[in-house]
Structure 1
Amino acid sequence: MKEALDGVVRPVLALENQYADGDALAAHHHERGQLLYGASGAVMVRTVQGTWVMPPQRGIWIPPGVVHEVRMLGEVRTYSLYLEPEASARMPTRCEVVGITRFMRSLMCEAVELSASYDLDGRAGALMTLIQYEMKQLSVLPLSLPIPAHDLLAKRCRDFLGNPSPHDTIDQWSDALGVSRHTFTRLFRRETGMSLAAWRQQACLIVALPRLIAGERVTSVALELGYDNPAAFTTMFKRVLGTSPRNYLSLRKLEESF
């Protein structure tokens, strides 16, 4: 991929890639900003700042210079747009999962067919200019999970991702870190921008979503995550994503058919 970008002077470049289930890209970074769109399969992106899950038919913005690891969940076909740093300056300064409109999908499918040395003054150049305008209109989705910079707290958060539970309490976490409840609450919010309850909920969603997309039953996922019943899990899911797991997955399949 890097070789395809080296030496090409264009504000936007587009590439298409295919990956097998479980494929992983080791920690790396790009001089350009990247909008990664998954036409199929789900993708998990990790940086020192957090974890992001990109469901199928969604995208993730990765700013220039951000070191990130990528893991494929299912067979994944991606389209990527790479923006020069100057063009990236008008985009978010942190990773964000974003919605991809039908129009944007069409533009990206057209873009990957272009030569890397496309004519800036012709149709191709106009297409890439339009893409830059459309990128700024993409809506941010609540599919990120910040990881603290504080070493002990970061370890606790990563351990939680390996064994999430909706019942963890502030007292359990503060005791594990050897600090008072008040100190922990203040530290956690300062490091993540969230309360522990909100972060814990988001973490459960980040873990559950790839499994649901892979076809696991809502009941199985909910109970294995430690929810008392599927209804409690569904309530959490609706609170974050605005709809039930069943409706969310049905909508995703409908989008894939277009």
Structure 2
Amino acid sequence: MPVLTADSDIAEWIDPDLVPRPVVTIGATGFVIARGGPHDANFDDRQELDFHSHRKGQLMLALNGVLTGEIEGGFWIVPPQSAIWVPGGVLHKIKAAGAIECYIAYIDSSVASNLPAYCCTVSATPLLRELLIRSAGLPMLYAEGGMASNLVALLLDELALAPIGNLHLPMPADTRLRRIVETIMAEPADRGTMRTWARRTGLSERTLARLLARETGMSFGRWRQQLHLMLAVRWLATGASVQRVANDLGYESAGSFVTMFRKALGTSPGRYIAQRRS
């Protein structure tokens, strides 16, 4: 089907979960896709959806703007030219920032055996990107057994080979840790030490360290750095300057922020974003 926009007639919308085809792809710009249908939204502002699920797995490719996804126990950032994969039946919440253009493929479990059984981000190869765009031009009830089926089969093969992304943040379930997480996400420039956070939550440093390791697999410093990295990617992709991001994350200088970013992702912030906009 053609790319949907905020001006499209959504009365003609068909829930992809109900379409008897192994893969159904749509393009979307200017509104949110959730609960199986489109919802008008101004993507110049951040938009957030409640937790929901689909019977089919969902692959969301962001060409412009930034998507974030959350499931129980995990948080993902999806920068431009990347995608997020959510298996069927998994409760998830999608958030968007910037002017969004994306393509969403709904994939039936009968053809998803070679795809990850867990939520993850994937790096979209040029071929995968073009296959998603092309498949979005197919009718929802495309004829099976011909060119459309071959296109869908190639899309599934290319998706199975796509590299897994690294912008993932484990989210703890312990209520005391969640309070720390929520505070840091609301005020990422807070540079409180492990001792500071332990005192704020009424825990010993040893207990806090043990809880974090058990529930996230990370030390406090490593977890906070990963959060800063993910926030930085989201802000940079929506137009913030390196200096502004460094300030908002509480770094003493833009240089120290750039050093952290380069060590984590192998390139500078400016080059990282430029590569995804090219």
Matched, 1:68 2:68: no
Contact 1:32 1:88 in 2 (8 A): no
Q: Which of 159, 165, 178 is residue 183 of structure 2 equivalent to?
A: 159
Matched, 1:115 2:139: yes
Q: Which of 161, 171, 180 is residue 195 of structure 2 equivalent to?
A: 171
In structure 2, relative to structure 1, the CA distance for the partners of 1:93 and 1:6 (3 Å cut) is: closer
User: Could you tell me how far apart the structure 1 residues matched to 2:131 and 2:253 are?
Assistant: 43
| CA RMSD in angstroms, aligned pairs only | 1.8
Q: Partner amino acid for 2:79?
A: P
Matched, 1:230 2:254: yes
Post-superposition shift, 1:227? 0.5
User: Could you tell me how far apart the structure 1 residues matched to 2:234 and 2:169 are?
Assistant: 14
User: Could you tell me how far apart the structure 2 residues matched to 1:166 and 1:87 are?
Assistant: 46
Which residue of structure 2 lines up, in the alignment, with residue 9 of structure 1? 20
Q: Secondary structure at the match of 1:64?
A: coil
Post-superposition shift, 1:49? 1.9
The correspondence of residues 1-258 of structure 1 with structure 2, limited to 5 A, is: 3-19=14-30, 20-21=43-44, 22-165=46-189, 167-254=191-278
Q: TM-score, normalised by structure 2?
A: 0.85
User: Could you tell me how far apart the structure 1 residues matched to 2:208 and 2:179 are?
Assistant: 14
Give % identity. Answer: 33
User: Could you tell me how far apart the structure 2 residues matched to 1:207 and 1:31 are?
Assistant: 30
Q: Secondary structure at the match of 1:40?
A: strand
- Gaps (5+ residues) in structure 2? 1-9, 31-42
Spell out, residue by residue over 1:189-225, the C-alpha distance to the aligned partner (whole angstroms, 9 max, x if none): 1101212111100111122222211222111210221
Q: Partner amino acid for 2:16?
A: L
Contact 2:188 2:248 in 1 (8 A): no
In structure 2, relative to structure 1, the CA distance for the partners of 1:248 and 1:200 (3 Å cut) is: same
User: Could you tell me how far apart the structure 2 residues matched to 1:250 and 1:167 are?
Assistant: 29
User: Could you tell me how far apart the structure 2 residues matched to 1:246 and 1:147 are?
Assistant: 28
User: Could you tell me how far apart the structure 2 residues matched to 1:97 and 1:79 are?
Assistant: 14
User: Could you tell me how far apart the structure 1 residues matched to 2:190 and 2:259 are?
Assistant: 12
User: Could you tell me how far apart the structure 1 residues matched to 2:205 and 2:138 are?
Assistant: 57
Q: Partner amino acid for 1:226?
A: G
Post-superposition shift, 1:28? 1.2
Post-superposition shift, 1:6? 4.1
User: Could you tell me how far apart the structure 2 residues matched to 1:166 and 1:240 are?
Assistant: 21
Q: Secondary structure at the match of 1:3?
A: coil
Contact 1:29 1:67 in 2 (8 A): yes
Spell out, residue by residue over 1:127-161, the C-alpha distance to the aligned partner (whole angstroms, 9 max, x if none): 11111111111111221111101122122112111
- Runs of 4+ in structure 1 deviating by more than 4 angstroms, as ranges, are none
Aligned residue pairs, count: 254
| Residues 157-166 or 214-223, more deviating | 157-166
- Gaps (5+ residues) in structure 1? none
User: Could you tell me how far apart the structure 1 residues matched to 2:114 and 2:258 are?
Assistant: 36
Which residue of structure 1 lines up, in the alignment, with residue 35 of structure 2? none
Q: Secondary structure at the match of 1:141?
A: coil
Spell out, residue by residue over 1:42-81, the C-alpha distance to the aligned partner (whole angstroms, 9 max, x if none): 1122223222111111111111112222222111111011
Spell out, residue by residue over 1:216-243, the C-alpha distance to the aligned partner (whole angstroms, 9 max, x if none): 2111210221101111111111122110
